[in-house]
Structure 1
Amino acid sequence: MNFKPLEAIIPIDGRYRERVADASRYFSEYALIKERLRVEIEFLVKIIETCCGEITSKLPQDWKDRLLKIIDDFKLEDAEEVKELEKILGHDVKALMDYLRKRLHRIGLEQLSSYIHLGLTSDDVNNLAYSLLLSRFRDEVLVPNLIRVIRTISEKAKDNLETIMLGRTHGVPAVPTTFGRFLSNYAYRLARITYELAVFKFPGKLGGAVGDHSALKFTYPEVDWIEFSKGFVESLGLEYIPASTQILPHDKISEFLGKISILDAIASNLCRDLWLLSSLGLLVFGRRVGETHSSTMPHKSNPLHLENAEGAFDLASSIASFMARRLVSSRLHRDLSDSIIKRFYGLPLTLTIIGFKSLMEAFKRMNVLRDKMKLEVESHPESLTEAYQVYLRAHGVEDAYELVQGAFDKGWSEILKEIKGRGLSSEVVKRLREAKPSEYFGEAIRIGSMLLDEVEKILGRLGK
């Protein structure tokens, strides 16, 4: 049956398929089966070289190449063959083992068939396959997308380092800052968590039925199976975890998912903040010619890409957070409840990509209304009350806070009258009288610039 996106059960494979089609290389059933095959064959080569060197004299000289070619030649039809075997056997890894056995007979390597999966348990194959797929997705899809978004935010921040805007705490006017400083904060936060994700080392283990290498130690007592396992796992580019039962404890994967949840939460926060600035009339997200943003109001130009991104980030963050918590638990030496959860790794990760692609589109359409931002700052002279009370206290006015607050409650024009009545020097009064909200932004430009420099350093460490 030919798959049609319109018939998909969940939107990732339907409505959003075009945005994340590449993710099928990492999270589809086909991708998982092929990665399991890779692990089985790599292990087969290693076990033959370590324990059964004498058998290689009976094999064709190119036996390794023939084995590795099975991986390269593995197509969708081969995965379908494995799935047919699974219907009979009721076990996905055993189905793959039988498929591989048949392949070895076809290519003249039947002498190796009894060594397939030797001394392993299913999770020895599964944990390595999942870690390899997650690692490649991180390197090939996730981090490159994040870097593009961070650079876009940084560029917008740099362009607006001097764009004055009114800061808001608790949703109401506070003191001025700059829009570039505001964005640079997000660029830095996203860069920092991206770096942590980029350098994260995915875990792996080999251990057999309960993690003690019992079958292999019984069969080949002369081999140091702990060192063998460590070497094999590290040869795949993974971090060897010696503490295992039948399964690899998911603590490390939970760390990764926790970071994904934090990443999505930061990005969602950015979406909400930009949305709020849009609702205040300080940002505009344009619509393209021919686009419709309302079925009834022709004038509407909505921040729909921000809203789409926010929803994707919130959903991704929640799912990743749930997975991180749930996966650390497994009954005794193993139960299967983690299996179905791991099959959904692609859900929060593809939602994350959907979110960042929507956020990128929002930034492409974003117009900063600098004049309106400045006008808003100038229309809130009370944003100087902080400056007034701190300056006055520094000049010996002990009750400056109460003085400024009381005067402001009577009306802004009363503040200077109250100050003059305190017998302060003309220089102090002049300094306060000449203060302007549009010039009261402290070290905002310098801090914003410093944060953007830090972002560049972080991306530089990633070689980007």
Structure 2
Amino acid sequence: MDPLETIIPIDGRYWSKLEELSAYFSEYALMRERIAVEIAYLKKFVEEVEREKISELPLNWKEALTIIPSEFTIDDAKRVKEIEAEVGHDVAAVVKYLREKLRDLGLEDLAPYVHIGLTSEDVTNLAYSRLLAKFNREALLPNLVKLLEQVAALSLEHVDTIMLGRTHGVPAIPTTFGRFLANYAYRLAKMADEIYGFRFPGKFGGAVGDHSALKFAYPDVDWIRFSREFVESLDLEYVPASTQILPHDKVSQYLMRVSLLDSILSNFCRDLWLMSALGLLVFTIKKGEIHSSTMPHKSNPILLENAEGAFDLASATGSYIARRLLSSRLHRDLSDSIIKRFYGLPLSLTILGMKNLSKALERMTVKKEEMLKEVESRPEVLAEAYQVYMRRMGIENAYEIIQDALREGWDEVLRTLKSALPEELYDEVISVKPSRYIGESEKVTLILLDEVEKIYKKITDYLAEVQS
């Protein structure tokens, strides 16, 4: 199929930016991971339950089994789909395919033990959790760390860049652009801290979670111990409380965390967009780019807008999936199956948003002079400082006095101050420029960035360890 014919833009319009995610969310990836789980189970089963069979197998039987998932190709996946068209069941098709491969490898004696005593969800839940874990450490975290690094670096660069704070969309008091960015860096770091070491769950318990078939056939085996060891060998967290399916509570927690991250990043995009609209930020246009089909002068913050839309859609669909997966009728119904096949929708949109936001930050120019000019042109931002200082001097209704004076104009504010304060204090108070009324802004920025650095280092150390 040509990318122009795809239904979902992820696989068409945005494919060039997201194609690496096929390794986690494509049907091919799910098949390959199911096969890897089936083979891992078959090895453990033979070694621990049917040990006497080992003497009848070739010496390289384990190595031969390992080749099946590691060399699984698109043509192999097409063969699985052919079988599925005959049997009407995706996991049963994988099982039949594996039996074919065992015969091809001269390991037909192992065919009876493929998928023995399992339900399809024993394999599928482990496959999905392993794919999500790989996505988290190989795609989400590296992109998040890059963004975090960018925002923190910009914050430090602009630690003393004066800007006008706005509440309710209108001028409030001065702050710094570095402080504004540090707030987002800190929020992103805290979310990254919750996501980076997330342990994905796994269950392994048969048709209703009680190991019934295996216990009946092999009553002397401790199947609870076996299951726990097997799940943990896949680097997953064993969940003993299961029906036919894994309760999706933990996966839902993960999706909700990513959805919260999406919402924070969407808000960041909107704030940068607003500052662009105010003429305080500029996003440079690449040579040859067209931002309007009719207005040649246009240079639009399109990367921010695209990222915002991606984050909003990711947050909405991700949080829906998280909530919906918590519900399953009695011991299982199939409604969760189709929903899980769409894990890639919100998570791919998250990556798309991150990439576009990162590119926007690379193109961003901060109009420091405009920011400072805006602050200095608004002396009324000192009204808060004046009324608090007057209250310190024991003037009870200082707020009302300054508020009334403001209605008459700034000169009236100064006259009011002069009549209320001793001359030496008046001179000291009015000597403060709006651009210096920033409180502990720089100090708070550095405190926040110090916390960000600690989390950043922890996560980058973790990524270096898991990727080595």
Establish whether TM, by shorter chain, passes 0.5: yes
CA apart distance, 1:290: 1.5
Aligned counterpart in structure 1 of residue 347 of structure 2, from 342, 346, 349: 349
User: Could you give the per-residue CA deviations for residues 265-291 of structure 1, whole angstroms, max 9, x where no partner exists?
Assistant: 000000000000000000111111211
CA apart distance, 1:452: 1.3
Counterpart-to-counterpart distance in 2, 1:166 and 1:99: 65
CA apart distance, 1:431: 2.5
Aligned counterpart in structure 1 of residue 71 of structure 2, from 62, 70, 73: 73
The amino acid of 1:14's aligned partner reads: G
CA apart distance, 1:220: 1.4
Gaps of 5+ in 2: 462-468
Residue 449 of structure 1 pairs with residue 446 of structure 2: yes
SS in 1 for 2:460: coil
Counterpart-to-counterpart distance in 2, 1:74 and 1:333: 33
SS in 1 for 2:59: coil
Residue 169 of structure 1 pairs with residue 167 of structure 2: yes
Deviates further, 269-278 or 453-462 = 453-462
The amino acid of 1:70's aligned partner reads: I
Counterparts of residues 43-192 of structure 1 (less than 5 Å): 43-192=41-190
The amino acid of 2:395's aligned partner reads: V
User: Could you give the per-residue CA deviations for residues 228-262 of structure 1, whole angstroms, max 9, x where no partner exists?
Assistant: 11111111000011111000000000000001100
Counterparts of residues 370-449 of structure 1 (less than 5 Å): 370-422=368-420, 424-449=421-446
Counterpart-to-counterpart distance in 1, 2:181 and 2:42: 52
Counterparts of residues 212-223 of structure 1 (less than 5 Å): 212-223=210-221
User: Could you give the per-residue CA deviations for residues 339-362 of structure 1, whole angstroms, max 9, x where no partner exists?
Assistant: 000000011111111101110111
CA apart distance, 1:34: 0.4
User: Could you give the per-residue CA deviations for residues 297-317 of structure 1, whole angstroms, max 9, x where no partner exists?
Assistant: 101111010001000000001
Counterpart-to-counterpart distance in 2, 1:305 and 1:314: 14
User: Could you give the per-residue CA deviations for residues 18-45 of structure 1, whole angstroms, max 9, x where no partner exists?
Assistant: 0000001111000000000000000011
Counterpart-to-counterpart distance in 2, 1:320 and 1:433: 53
SS in 1 for 2:342: coil
User: Could you give the per-residue CA deviations for residues 112-169 of structure 1, whole angstroms, max 9, x where no partner exists?
Assistant: 1111111111111000000000100111111101111111111111111100000000
Counterpart-to-counterpart distance in 1, 2:112 and 2:408: 91
SS in 2 for 1:367: strand
CA apart distance, 1:436: 1.2
Aligned counterpart in structure 1 of residue 232 of structure 2, from 229, 234, 237: 234
The amino acid of 1:41's aligned partner reads: I
The amino acid of 2:306's aligned partner reads: N
Counterpart-to-counterpart distance in 2, 1:69 and 1:348: 33
CA apart distance, 1:72: 1.3
SS in 1 for 2:147: helix
Q: How many residues align?
A: 461
CA apart distance, 1:421: 2.5
Counterpart-to-counterpart distance in 2, 1:326 and 1:42: 30
User: Match for residue 7 of structure 1?
Assistant: 5
The amino acid of 2:388's aligned partner reads: V
CA apart distance, 1:416: 2.2
Residue 458 of structure 1 pairs with residue 455 of structure 2: yes
Deviates further, 149-158 or 310-319 = 149-158
The TM-score normalised by the length of structure 2 is 0.97
Residue 30 of structure 1 pairs with residue 19 of structure 2: no
What is the root-mean-square deviation in Å for CA atoms of aligned residues?
Answer: 0.9
Counterpart-to-counterpart distance in 1, 2:288 and 2:427: 56
The TM-score normalised by the length of structure 1 is 0.98
SS in 2 for 1:462: helix
Counterpart-to-counterpart distance in 2, 1:86 and 1:463: 42
